[in-house]
Each structure stands twice: as C-alpha cells, then as structure tokens.
Chains A and B, each alone.
Chain A
Amino acid sequence: MAPFVPDFISEPLNLVVALILGIAFGFVLEQAGFSSSRRLAGVFYGYDFTVLRVFFTAAVTAMSGVIVLGWMGVLDTEAIFVNPLWLRPAIVGGAIMGLGFILGGYCPGTSVCAAAIGKIDGMFFVGGGLLGVLLFGESLPRYLAFFESTARGPVKVFDTLGISQGAFAFFVVAMAVVAFYVTTKIERKVAREQAPSHTFSRIRHGAAGVLVVVVGFALLFMPDYKTRLLRKVSAPVFAAAHPAKTMTIDELAFRIVDQDPHTRIVDLRSAADYSALALPGSIHATKQDLFSRSLDELASRRIRKVVVGDNEAEERQTYGILEELGYENLAILSGGFAAFSQAFVQSAAFVPTGGRYDEDVRRFREDAQRKIPALIEAQKSAAQKPVKQERTIKGGC
C-alpha cells in the first residue's frame, strides 16, 4: 500500500524522486504561465483568472485522487502527511503572503519558475524571499509564544466543520466549477478580447464542467477505506454470517504450553485488561492498530494468527478486517478470552462432556493449569512490551 516512503524508497533515492517530481512541478507551472507576474496578479483585478483555474483544478484533482485511492485501499491515508494547524499563525502568515503576492506579483514557488526563465523581477522576488526568511529567523524569539499558539494538530477540514469527507469534497468540487463559470464571465467583461478565456470552447469546457461535477458527486459515496471496512464488519449481518475458522481453547492452550513459534495471539481486549493479564506470546492491538504497519510480525502466512477478544462477535469483526487487509492463516478463539481464562488461569474444574476423550482432556487441562500461569508470570517479569514502530513522514514547506 502506498505511500512508498519510507518502506520501499530509501532516503537517498527519495532525494532523486524529489528532483524528478520537482522537474515535473516546475515544467507544468511554467507551461501554465505561472512565470508571469502580470498574469498572476490578474486574478486580483479580473483581467486574467489563470491562477484560479490552475490552482483549483490542481487542488480538486489531487484531492479527488487521494479520496479515490484511499477508498480503493491503494493509498494509506493515515500514513500521509497532513500539515498541522496553528490557527492564528496560519492566518497571519497567510495574510502576509497575500500582501507579498499583490505587491510582488508572485508567491515563492512561482517566483522560482519566473527566475528560472530569466524574469529579473522574479529573481528580485526570490532574493527578497531569502531576506524575508532571514528576517523571520532573526526576529522569531520575539514572537515565539504567538508562533506556537493555537496549535490544533493535523486536523482534517471536514472534521473541523463536522461533516463527512464526501460531503466536503463534493462542496469543494461544486464551488470550483461555479467559480470557474463566474470568473470567466467577469474576465470576459473586464478584458474583452484580451481575456485568456476568450478562446475557450463553450461546449468542451461546459462538458468538462459537467464531468467534474459528476466525479465530485461520486466522491460523496467514497468514504476512506478504513471507515468503509470498519463499517462493513460492524454490521450485525457480518458478525452472524461471516465464516471464520475457530480454534478451541484446548488447542490454544496446547500451543501455548508447547511454545509453538508458528502461533501468535492477537489480543483485542482493552489495554487495561491486557496489562493485567497477557497471554504468553500475544500482542495487543485495537481495531485501529490493525491498519497500521506495526503488525509486520503477523505478515507471514506460516504463522497462525489467533484473534482473542472479549466475545466471539468482536473476534469475528477483527478476523474480517485482517482477512480484508490480506492476512492469511487466521482463527478466532471459540468462547473468547473468558472461556480460556476460566479453564486455564482460574483453574475451573473440567466438566465432563461424556465424550471418549474426557479423561485425556481432563489430564491435559490439569497439566496446562500449572504451566500456563507460570508462563504468564515468566513473561510478566521479562516485561516485554510490544514496541510500536512509529511511522512518521515529515512534510510541509
């Protein structure tokens, strides 16, 4: 699952990737005409809305792509960098950049493009930009408190607004199309024959607009993969009907006593319950954890993953998630943790079932009742805490 950094692309290679993506970025920006300050400034005076068209088309394209790939399960939207918000610094900084834009005719990225093709004003702007960073670095101690204030973390905009991802995405797409239409009208009025939109084909652009709205509408029905999967396995129908291999408590006890290297227990109980009593060789995981890549130790198909939880319904849900995520060789523990704990930790007496092997089972349990608590104690004293591998990607400007 994407992204490929840091798991599949190493740091040095990532720098080569940066160069290549930068070339594509610069090429497209320049082709779009972003190397011209007069064209860029036009967005503020109504004679040229190229900036708005390119900028919002790009934002809508990338946003839709992220949503679609996340929905398909190709892109891990939890792992990508979401720039954190410091509310007031973001507004103040944005406002200062806005002033810089209207006075200087560029923003940092476009000024680099302009300078690259020989625009002298672009070169001055880049020089000014370096000066601005220097000024910032030198004066930062004075307003460090403000700079660090109103920290909100990597919040998503639809959560801030309290609506679904799909509803927000559709709103953005619809707004973009409306803005394209309205600004084209304005541009034609202001610049007349000089308007860049003068040559636009009404039919082709209209059709493209309709297509974009249709795609935006489809985004309404594409919750991210994780939300979708959690929703699917939480449905009552799923827990009742989804086939899952089961393992009896005796088999699990046997494997624990045997210290079978090919069995791993995935414990779903609360963190408090787990720290009070953890089965030997088990790992603790919440439903959210299953989506992170810290569960690499479960990746091998030769390892039997036994899902243990408070009840079988919960086990079955997790079984479904793991199955969907591509894990193989899974099982759920019949009767859940309670049944196992009663038989082997609290040493409840074996209730004969009248079967042929009753005597064998009774003897096995007596033996296991001695060994398993000892193994649990041994593990506790070793205090092996599952080390969760943090997966962070730095980003931003």
Chain B
Amino acid sequence: MQSRTMNPYLAGFLLGLVLLATIVITGRGLGASGALKNVVIASVGAVTPEHAAHSPLYAAYVDPKHDSPLKAWLVFEVAGVVLGAFLSGLLSDRLKLVTEAGPAVGRRRRWIFAVIGGALSGFGAQFARGCTSGAALSGMAVLSTAGFVTMMAIFGTGYAAAWFARSLWIAKKAGK
C-alpha cells in the first residue's frame, strides 16, 4: 500500500486556492492538455514545416512571426506540475518506477490501455477545447457554461462506460 495521502477535502481546498490565485494573478485558469498540444505542434513544425503550415490546428503556431509553441504559458505551467509532483513524491516517499494496474490486469495489458486511454483523452481534450483541469475545473471556477458541460460529459461517460471496463479495475466477483 502507498504512503498516506492528504485529507482529500484539505487537498481540494488547497487546490482551489492555487486555482483562485492563478485566476487573480493571471486572469486565467490552470490547464494541462494545452501543453501536450504545444509539444505536438512544435514537433510537427520541426519535422514537416510544410505540412504543418497547411493544417488548421498548427498553421497559426508555425508562422515565423509567432513565438515558439514551447514558449507558452501552459507549457511552463505543466513543466511546473512535473516539478511539483516530483517534489511531492520525494517528500512523501512515493518515487518509484512501477506500473499500477487493476487486480486482474497484467503489465502489458495495462500499458496498452494506458496508451489507448491517453490517446482518447488527448483527442477529446482538443475536441472539447480543454481537459478536466483546463475546461472542467477552471471553467467551473469562473462559472462558465462550458466548464459545467465538459465536466458532466467527462464524468457522465465515465460512469456510463464503467460497467464495460470493470475487468480493468476491480476483481472478478466469486462464482463468475
């Protein structure tokens, strides 16, 4: 079992304060998937600039007049997330190279599903113009309709699909 984590309400309160501070200081919320987007745009732009210039997602960023897609607010913020999480793991003695999976799932199967899940997540976040942090959480904080719609879509679908994915996360009941 892992070392103890913070009381979830206290953690939520602190997370809320971090988000509030972000809004007060910068006028915008926190995010995550946007950084993935910028990394992809920078890579595509570097590998095939010709191709990137003709795609609706990349074109604006690979314009030479535009700053590098890596010099963006969200990229720096997510770099901070990596550092912050690492620091927290270090302090709480949770730094360990390990694969975490449901009780009935092997390592390889877990990796395959992590890639599939990640791909859906990355794809969906672009489609919804934000992820659980950027669209749902930050959106809810500023009372945006988009935030609440995205949040309900994420969790609603999660619950709707949970039964079908149960073998990934919970042990089979006896007799089955």
A interface list, Cβ under 8 A from B: 2-5, 9, 14-33, 35-38, 41-45, 47, 50, 53-63, 65-66, 69, 74-75, 77, 79-87, 89-122, 124-138, 140-141, 144, 147, 152, 154-160, 165, 168-169, 172, 180, 196, 205, 208, 393-397
Contacts and interface: CB of A to CB of B under 8 A. Distances in A.
Going nearest first, the 8 A-B pairs with the smallest beta carbon separation are: A104-B117, A22-B80, A128-B118, A61-B16, A94-B153, A57-B12, A93-B128, A132-B122
14 contacts: A4-B27, A26-B83, A37-B101, A44-B162, A93-B128, A96-B124, A98-B154, A102-B157, A116-B86, A118-B89, A141-B55, A141-B56, A394-B28, A397-B32
Contacts of A26: 80-88
Contacts of A94: 124, 128, 135-136, 149-154, 156-157
A158 B143 contact: yes
Q: Could you say which of B32, B85, B153 has the most chain A C-beta atoms within 10 Å of its C-beta?
A: B85
Interface string B3-46: 00110110111111111111111111111111011011100100
A391 to B, nearest CB: 9
Contacts of A133: 33, 36-37, 40, 122-123, 125-126
B28 A125 contact: no
Q: Could you say which of B34, B138, B168 has the most chain A C-beta atoms within 10 Å of its C-beta?
A: B138
A165 B143 CA distance: 8
Q: Is the interface of B mostly helix, strand, loop or mixed?
A: helix
Nearest to B5: A33
Contacts of B95: 117-118
Nearest to A6: B27
A54 B11 contact: yes
Contacts of B143: 63, 66, 82, 156-158, 165, 168-169
Nearest to B111: A124
Contacts of A2: 24-25, 27
A22 B117 contact: no
A125 B12 contact: no
Given A21-B22, A97-B120, A102-B165, A124 B17 contact: no
Given A69-B24, A94-B153, A18 B81 contact: no
Given A112-B82, A119-B99, A90 B37 contact: no
B142 A82 contact: yes
A217 B69 CA distance: 44
Given A26-B85, A31-B5, A117-B86, 6 more contacts: A29-B84, A32-B6, A86-B146, A108-B36, A137-B58, A395-B27
Given A54-B15, A131-B122, A156-B145, A112 B83 contact: no
B28 to A, nearest CB: 3
Contacts of A157: 143-145, 147-148
Given A61-B16, A62-B23, A116-B86, A31 B158 contact: no
Contacts of A65: 16-17, 20, 23-24, 141
A118 B97 contact: yes
A396 B44 contact: no
A3 B102 contact: no
B12 A53 contact: yes
Contacts of A56: 12
Nearest to B130: A397
